[in-house]
Amino acid sequence: MPPSPPLPVDLSGIQLDPGGGLARQLYQALRERILDGRLPGGTRLPASRDLSQLLGISRNTVTRAFDQLYAEGYIEGHIGNGTYVVELVSVIRPTPIQALSPTPSKALQRLQVHHLPAPAEGAPRAFRVGIPALDLFPFEIWARLSARFWRKPSPARLGYGDPAGDPQLRELIAAYLRNSRGLHCDPAQIVVTCGAQQAISLCAQLLVEPGDQVAIENPGYRAAGHAFAMAGAQLKGIAVDAEGLDTAALAQVGSCRLAYVTPSHQYPTGVTLSLARRLELLDWAERDSWIVEDDYDGEYRYSGTPLAPLAALDRQGRVLYVGTFCKIAFPALRLGYLVLPLALAPLFARRRALDMRHSEIGTQAVMAEFIATGHFQRHIRTMRRAARSRRDALLAGWPEDVPGCAPVPAVNAGLHLCVRVDSLARERALIAAANQVGVELNGLSNYWLADSETPLDDRAGLVLGFASVPEPDIAKALRMLRQAWGANQQVLS
């Protein structure tokens, strides 16, 4: 048999895996060579018969690959004269490693500094911060309500939804806030969000202009500060003392567009904003500023009833109230809400629709039924009792003879506590020793703004969440801490 004529182009290097789709592989190999310039425009491709013989595949396989290239405009046929690569305006060539990328935008530059740390891995353990008692959530009830909704959902709820949230859920949130928190609001004031962080981000996007000053608690919730900084705000840290945010220090800062606060249970110090400070803060806002109140764990009050939110005292429409279901249910639920001055609510919903058209309907519908049937209120009572019991276990077993550690403070609210430490070096040594035995502790120093005037050693402390694991696990973790810290006395002393 005479040898086959040479192909018009060099297609050596094409290797096809018999275990995969051969036509797809051939199409991708030819397309790659066209895009990177190895098959330049005007190149005549071999006939399908010749190419099938070279690659050891059927002619039909080659034809299917060619058909796809024809359909996408990479090749064209000349009647009676073969198949040719089209002339592309440009080709994608390998980028040299030393090539410079475009100058990053200011937003991308800010993101290098203002971003969230990676979440902790694995199941919750002592003493992870920000996690409620996941082991007590009534998943069977939730599953039953979810199955009931999805068994025959209303077609009216399966199209594009209201970006402000499911109307029934908003009505129930308003009723819950009126009855349980003393916050009188209308459903039209509520915008459902994907957790508290999205609510805070919306406030940053719509209330702050680049260059505006924003007051935040210092130490405070750094994720909120990042959201405002990404909007171009200049963060002004305001000291926190035994009565909460220092309103006198806030007044001295000058013009601030907004103040972000956690008045019911300050994060991370755990103090409660006094009534006098609340009234002073509201008076400050009435001079043309906003207050964003984050009530992330306000349901957890261990003496008396939960405190009325700052928003319940607001008479001038200056407070935007951030609430969340994640500290009562579980963080992965990603369900929260904003209570806004009536004029702002439709604008916030309109802006939210540009990021995500609306929230997933199933979760909203199930939460609405969860509240309407009384399960939510019962679960809150269960979670409050459990958190109190787990707090007591931590307070009772905490080692009292740790060098450099202040006494454990009284804990009347929330899901975490803060223990002051006498130096940054001691904070790091305590945390390192705890990590060696598998116990999670957060350093208070991580919650301060980088440009704080407070000396480094005065920023030191330990932040512990006490709600995420049962009492036996808390007792075990405390035993391990005592052993770890006892074995490191030389380092800690």
* 360-378 pLDDT per residue, tens: 999 999 999 999 999 999 9
Look at residue 1 in the predicted model and tell me its pLDDT. Answer: 43
Asked if 298 and 264 touch (Cβ cutoff 8 Å), the reply is yes
**390 is written with which tokens?**
């787990």
Q: Does residue 48 or residue 257 have the better pLDDT?
A: 257
H or E element in which residue 237 lies = strand 234-241
Look at residue 102 in the predicted model and tell me its pLDDT. Answer: 76
For residue 491, name the pLDDT band (cuts at 50, 70, 90). Answer: low
Cis before 138 (ω within 30):
no
Look at residue 55 in the predicted model and tell me its pLDDT. Answer: 85
Look at residue 177 in the predicted model and tell me its pLDDT. Answer: 96
The answer to whether residue 480 scores a pLDDT higher than 90 is yes
The answer to whether residue 6 scores a pLDDT higher than 70 is no
Which of 1-5, 62-66, 266-270 has the highest mean predicted lDDT (pLDDT)?
266-270
Find the mean pLDDT for residues 136-162.
95
Find the mean pLDDT for residues 170-198.
96
Share of the chain above pLDDT 70, in %: 94
Find the mean pLDDT for residues 459-471.
96
Find the mean pLDDT for residues 56-81.
88
Look at residue 321 in the predicted model and tell me its pLDDT. Answer: 98
Find the mean pLDDT for residues 51-76.
89
**DSSP for 274-292?**
-HHHHHHHHHHHTTT-EEE
DSSP H helices, 76-180, are 106-111, 139-151, 167-176
For residue 262, name the pLDDT band (cuts at 50, 70, 90). Answer: very high
Find the mean pLDDT for residues 34-43.
87
Share of the chain above pLDDT 90, in %: 71
CB < 8 Å & 24+ apart, contacts of 52-60: 53/4, 54/4, 54/7, 54/11, 55/14, 55/16, 55/26, 57/16, 57/22, 57/26
Distance of alpha carbon 191 from alpha carbon 227, whole angstroms: 18
**Angle, CA of 32, 35 and 41, to the nearest 5°:** 120
The answer to whether residue 80 scores a pLDDT higher than 90 is no
Neighbours of 303 (CB within 10 A): 8
Cis before 127 (ω within 30):
yes
Find the mean pLDDT for residues 367-394.
96
3-state secondary structure of 430: helix
Residues 6+ apart with CB under 8 A from 134: 124, 330, 468
Strand pairing category for 213-218 and 234-241: parallel
Distance of alpha carbon 33 from alpha carbon 36, whole angstroms: 5
For the chain, what is the mean pLDDT? 91
The answer to whether residue 490 scores a pLDDT higher than 80 is no
Find the mean pLDDT for residues 453-467.
95
**DSSP for 257-272?**
SEEEE--SS-TTT---
3-state secondary structure of 216: strand
Find the mean pLDDT for residues 353-362.
93
Asked if 351 and 358 touch (Cβ cutoff 8 Å), the reply is no
> Which residue type occupies 359?
S
**Which neighbouring-strand residues pair with 45?**
83
Give phi and psi for 195, each to the nearest 5. 85, 175
Torsion of CA 440, 397, 404, 217, to 10 degrees: 60
Nearest to 446 by CA among 220, 119, 229, 227: 220
Look at residue 221 in the predicted model and tell me its pLDDT. Answer: 95
For residue 13, name the pLDDT band (cuts at 50, 70, 90). Answer: confident
The answer to whether residue 99 scores a pLDDT higher than 60 is no
